[in-house]
Amino acid sequence: MRTEINVITYAIHDLADYINWIYFFHAWDFQPRFASIADIHGCDACRAQWLASFPASDIPKASEAMQLHKEAMRMLRQLDEVCQVKAVYRLMDAYGDGDDLILNGKRIPLLRQQTHIHTDDPYLCLSDFVRPLSQGIADTVGAFATTADESVEKEFIHDPYRHLLVQTLNERLAEAAADKLHETIRKEVWGYAKDERLTRKQLLNEEYQGIRPAIGYPSLPDLSISFLLDELIDMKRIGIRLTENGMMQPHASVCGFMFAHPQAHYFSVGKIDELQLADYAARRGKDVAYLRNYLITNLQY
């Protein structure tokens, strides 16, 4: 049984190639096509050529995107001198038991998908991507968390623009650390994808084997699972604290699980009924009312 909890510290420049600029620009209300500014060479000629590729009606917005990216890169260089991004992870013996995931002997109840696009599609649960307990052979699942340094945000508390700039960059850096960590685990630590050779674009498009669903996202909508994950990896090791509602602080933090099954893919649990809520509450050992608060957007009415 694996028990080791591992902590990694990243410098900002270690994560630059893993930043997904589409989501950064989305936070600033820019459409994805403007994020392509991050893919070009920074010389004046290349920037002018990029700007000229847009129709006249889009030039003002493209110019704004260009300036925003320039200021973001300047801020990243500034952050690189004073900030770090931290990650914690653990690989554990794992079994799937119905709709439950068993990690190092700890049972993690999950929710099964209730809606799907095609009528022939199965109703999925993340436990489906792990070897069944009935086989008696342990599989492996990873748990992780990453967080960006929030202290620098306080330096710009009286400068709304730069404060927001640091906040949105920190969010991307926490996600970038999760991407880099996942790559290292796939290729080196866990090693199930030792021969993986993906371009930056392929990495950002998640064209690798396996998934890393984050808590609070469609496959894992119950935010209170954060408390169970914290028991497994002790997120305080990297400065993450959980509020009474399971929210992570600093806000620029990510946590979740890693699955290696070749057919593992993301899905949305969707809407659940009262019977499934009651079953889930029983498996969690919690009151229905308690979990209803966490799953309010997933409940049928």
Q: What is the DSSP string of 263-290?
A: T--------B-HHHHHHHHHHHT--HHH
Token representation of residue 171 = 């969010």
Residue 1 scores a pLDDT above 60: no
Asked whether the CA dihedral 168, 171, 177, 180 is positive or negative, the reply is: negative
Q: Give the pLDDT confidence score for residue 275 in this predicted structure.
A: 94
* Region 152-181 average pLDDT: 95
Smallest CA-to-CA distance from 100 within 228, 200, 248, 245 is with 228
Q: Give the pLDDT confidence score for residue 172 in this predicted structure.
A: 98
Whole-structure pTM value: 0.94
Kindly report, residue by residue over 177-213, the tens digit of the pLDDT. Answer: 999 999 999 999 999 999 999 998 999 899 999 999 9
SS3 assignment, position 54: coil
d(CA 248, CA 253): 7
Q: Give the pLDDT band (50/70/90) at residue 300.
A: confident
Percent of the chain with pLDDT over 70: 99
d(CA 219, CA 77): 35
Task: Decide if 173 contacts 19 (C-beta within 8 A).
Answer: yes
CA angle at residue 97 from 140 to 95, to 5 degrees? Answer: 15
Q: Give the pLDDT band (50/70/90) at residue 2.
A: low
Q: Give the pLDDT confidence score for residue 121 in this predicted structure.
A: 82
Kindly report, residue by residue over 270-298, the tens digit of the pLDDT. Answer: 999 999 999 999 999 999 999 999 999 99
DSSP H/E element including 248: strand 248-249
Task: Decide if 173 contacts 15 (C-beta within 8 A).
Answer: yes
d(CA 201, CA 274): 42
pLDDT, mean over the chain: 95
- DSSP H helices, the chain, are 12-15, 21-27, 44-52, 59-80, 160-184, 200-204, 225-233, 274-284, 288-294
d(CA 225, CA 264): 20
* Region 78-92 average pLDDT: 96
Q: What is the CA radius of gyration of the chain?
A: 21
Mode of pairing for the β-strands spanning 84-97 and 241-242 = unpaired
Kindly report, residue by residue over 107-137, the tens digit of the pLDDT. Answer: 999 999 987 677 788 899 999 999 999 999 9
222-235: b (≥16 Cβ within 10 Å) or e: bbbbbebbbebbeb
CA angle at residue 162 from 22 to 148, to 5 degrees? Answer: 65
* Region 241-259 average pLDDT: 96
Class of domain 6-11+84-270: alpha beta
Kindly report, residue by residue over 12-46, the tens digit of the pLDDT. Answer: 999 999 999 999 999 999 999 999 999 998 888 99
Kindly report, residue by residue over 55-66, the tens digit of the pLDDT. Answer: 999 999 999 999
DSSP 237: G
First vs last Cα of the chain: how many Å apart?
43
Looking at this protein, which amino acid is placed at residue 88?
Answer: V
Phi and psi for 54 in degrees, rounded to 5? Answer: -95, 150
User: In the beta sheet, which residues pair with residue 296?
Assistant: none
SS3 assignment, position 211: strand
Helical pair 59-80 and 160-184, crossing angle rounded to 10 deg:
70
- Tell me the helix, strand and coil percentages in the chain, rounded to 5: 45, 20, 35
